[in-house]
Structures are given as structure tokens and as C-alpha cells.
Amino acid sequence: MTAPVSTDRASRTRPRRDDRTGGLRRGEGAAGWLFVAPVVVILGVFLFLPVLMALWVSFSDWSGRGSPLSSDVAFIGFDNYAELTSGQGLRSRDFGTALRNNAWYVVLVVPLQTALSLALAVFVSRRMLRARGFFRTAFYFPSVTSSVAITVLWIFLFSASGPVNALIAAITGGEGPNWFADPRGIVHLGLGAVGVDAAPAGLAEPGFLGISGWEWLAGPSVAMTALILMAVFTTSGTFMLLFIAALQNVGYELTEAGMMDGASGWQRFWRITLPQLRPTLFTVITLGLIGCWQVFDQIYTGTDGGPAKTTVTPAYLSYTSAFGNQDWGTGAAIAFILFVIIIAFTLLQRWLLRERPVSRRRIRRYQTRAQKNGDTA
């Protein structure tokens, strides 16, 4: 039988709290808040307060004169939002047109720039490639150039008598389109080439936001197509750098093991390399979605929303509504609807790119294959 341990001895063996350490930690916390206080104040004054004020403006009838917090400004609830989403009136139709244009812009730009940037990253990361620094600089150079300068250059290249149409004429013998003056959708042009020139009966009536189904399916206009090509050209270099950094962290041991198992180059990329790029892929797609839904400067500099409003985007419509028509409530409402759209698409693609557990069927298949390989050996 062992004697019980005395209380004094137990108290001596129990670790004691160091008051000086606790005080030092409290002091470190206060010092940390002191250091970050200027940034918090700057963000609060120049970011959070303007966002809250813009949110208030979207629920008010502020005309742009005086303070939006004055007693002359009335609270009108969701009237600005209802006017945009009712599907009736010019404002709702313009908003629907802007959403249609921007939706096609997103659908084409995000996949193309992601695929191109990944392909460029794989190309310049090859160990056998010479002058890799030159290729990386050349591919990244358009991303560091001013978007205004790129837009002006693009308008010159895609003008009716520009180099692009001259190249088309030299290759095909025909004339190229008048890019920035052609409002026709490329899907409608393709359907017209096979004899479908009119809308079917079920797609001719006005639908969501006052836009008919035939108009929703028109595709980007010829002018918007030129802007889509410009966006892919200018943004792929930036995302290429992100993929290059991710590829450098991919374990070569796994790729070597795949080669020993007889996997082809495409199988190694699809089954080994690409799954390890999932976090970078999520980042690239998220940044691409945000940038595409917020496209503004190319429209403002290049087309002013024309021709026939086929390059108008929600960001540009918000600007013209607020600063051009002095309809600040509508402009702020468009901005917050766009914010909700961006959040929704970000959450959706995060769900699509989530980590999925391996199914039991696949586990059994791998176990069966491993057993066969073991029996063969």
C-alpha cells in the first residue's frame, strides 16, 4: 500500500502560472492592436463606411445633391431593386441586357483564360525548355501593360481596315467583320449560316428581365467577342505565374511513380498533377469570376456600351446610371446585385471544387487491381 502524496508536494509538482508571462501576453495583445489600429481606421473610413453609405443610397431616392444622410432623402425600401428586376420598363431591360452580355463574357473568358494560363505554365515549366525566362517574361508582359493602352491597341488591331481583317482577307480571301460596330450575336450568326434566322415561337416572347429567350441565346456580339479575346490575352500571363508556383510544389516522386506504373503523360497530368493544383485552380477561377463580373475600363475606354448596348456590363451600367443619369439609387442597387452574383458564383465553384471522399466502389477497384498485381508478381 502506497502512502498518499501530500498536498504540499502536489502543489510543488503542479506547474504554476507565471504572472509575468500572462502580463507580457496581455501587453503583446495591446501592442498588436496599437500597431494595426491605423490600418483598421483607414479601412473603416475609406472602405466600410462608404460601403454602408452606398447600401443606404440603394434604399433611398438620393439625387446626388447634398448629403445622402440628410432629412430630405427618403427611404423607399426595395423600390430600386424591384424596378431593376421586375422585367418591365427600360431600366429593367437595360439591366437584363447588361447581365446577358456579362454572362456570356464570364462563360467564355473564365474557362479560356484558366485553360490557357495552365497550358502556358506547363509549357514554361518543362525542364527541357530553353530560354524559359524569356518565355515567362513574354507571356506575362501583356498583364503589366495598362488596360487603357491595351484597349486602344486592340481597337486599332480589330478595326475594319486593321491588321486582323487584313490577315483574315489574306487567308480566306474574304472581308473580315466590322468588329466594334457589329451588334449581332455569334450564336445567331452560326444559326443563320444553317438557315435558322428567326426565333422559335417558344423563345420569341419577353422573359426574364424583359429579355426573350432568343436574345439570351444570341451569344456575345461580334464586338464583345473582340473584348473577350483581349481579356484572355491580357490576363492569362498573371494566372500563369500562380500555376507556375503551384507546379513547383508538385511532388516529382508521385509523377515518377505514375511513370513506373505505366501511366501516359496525359494520365499523369489528369490523375496526379491536376488534383494537386486544386487550391490554385480555386484561386484562379475565383479571381477570374470577380474580374469578369466587374469588367468596366475596357468598356468605358473602348466601346461605351455599343454597338446597340451589346457591350454594356452591370458595372458600366451602374456607373452611367449614377454619374451620367444622376440616378444614384439605381446605380447603387446594381452594384449590390452584382456583389450578390459574385458571392453566389464563388460559393458555387467552391462547392464544385471541394475535396470529395473516395467512393467505396473505387476503393474496391483499387484493392482488386493491387491484388491482381501482387498475384502476378
pLDDT digits (tens, 9 = 90+) for 218-262: 999 999 999 999 999 999 999 999 999 998 887 777 777 777 777
Task: Phi first, then psi: give them for residue 54, nearest 5 degrees.
Answer: -65, -35
pLDDT(35) > 60: yes
Looking at the chain, list the stretches that DSSP marks H as alpha helix, in order from N- to C-terminal side: 7-13, 19-43, 49-58, 79-85, 90-124, 132-144, 147-157, 163-172, 186-193, 213-216, 222-247, 252-260, 265-268, 274-276, 278-293, 297-298, 314-319, 328-352, 360-376
Q: What is the mean pLDDT of the chain?
A: 85
What whole-number percentage of the chain has pLDDT above 90? 48
Distance from chain centroid for Cα 331 = 22
pLDDT (0 to 100) of residue 274 = 84
pLDDT digits (tens, 9 = 90+) for 68-103: 888 888 999 999 999 999 888 889 999 999 999 999
Top pLDDT among 363 and 182 is at: 182
pLDDT (0 to 100) of residue 296 = 94
Mutual orientation of helices 328-352 and 49-58 as an angle, nearest 10°? 110
Greatest mean pLDDT among 12-21, 170-179, 264-273: 170-179
* pTM as predicted: 0.84
Name which of 53, 51, 55, 48 is nearest 77 in CA terms: 55
pLDDT(295) > 90: yes
Give the mean pLDDT of 16-41: 72
Name which of 228, 223, 231, 227 is nearest 142 in CA terms: 231
pLDDT (0 to 100) of residue 121 = 92
Top pLDDT among 372 and 55 is at: 55
Task: Phi first, then psi: give them for residue 356, nearest 5 degrees.
Answer: -110, 135
Cell numbers at 232, concatenated: 484572355
pLDDT digits (tens, 9 = 90+) for 140-195: 888 888 889 999 999 999 998 899 999 999 998 888 889 999 899 999 999 988 88
Sorting pLDDT into bands at 50, 70 and 90, what band is 60? very high
What whole-number percentage of the chain has pLDDT above 70? 89
pLDDT (0 to 100) of residue 1 = 45
pLDDT (0 to 100) of residue 66 = 86
Top pLDDT among 98 and 199 is at: 98
pLDDT(300) > 50: yes
CA 197, CA 211: separation in Å to the nearest integer? Answer: 18
pLDDT (0 to 100) of residue 311 = 95
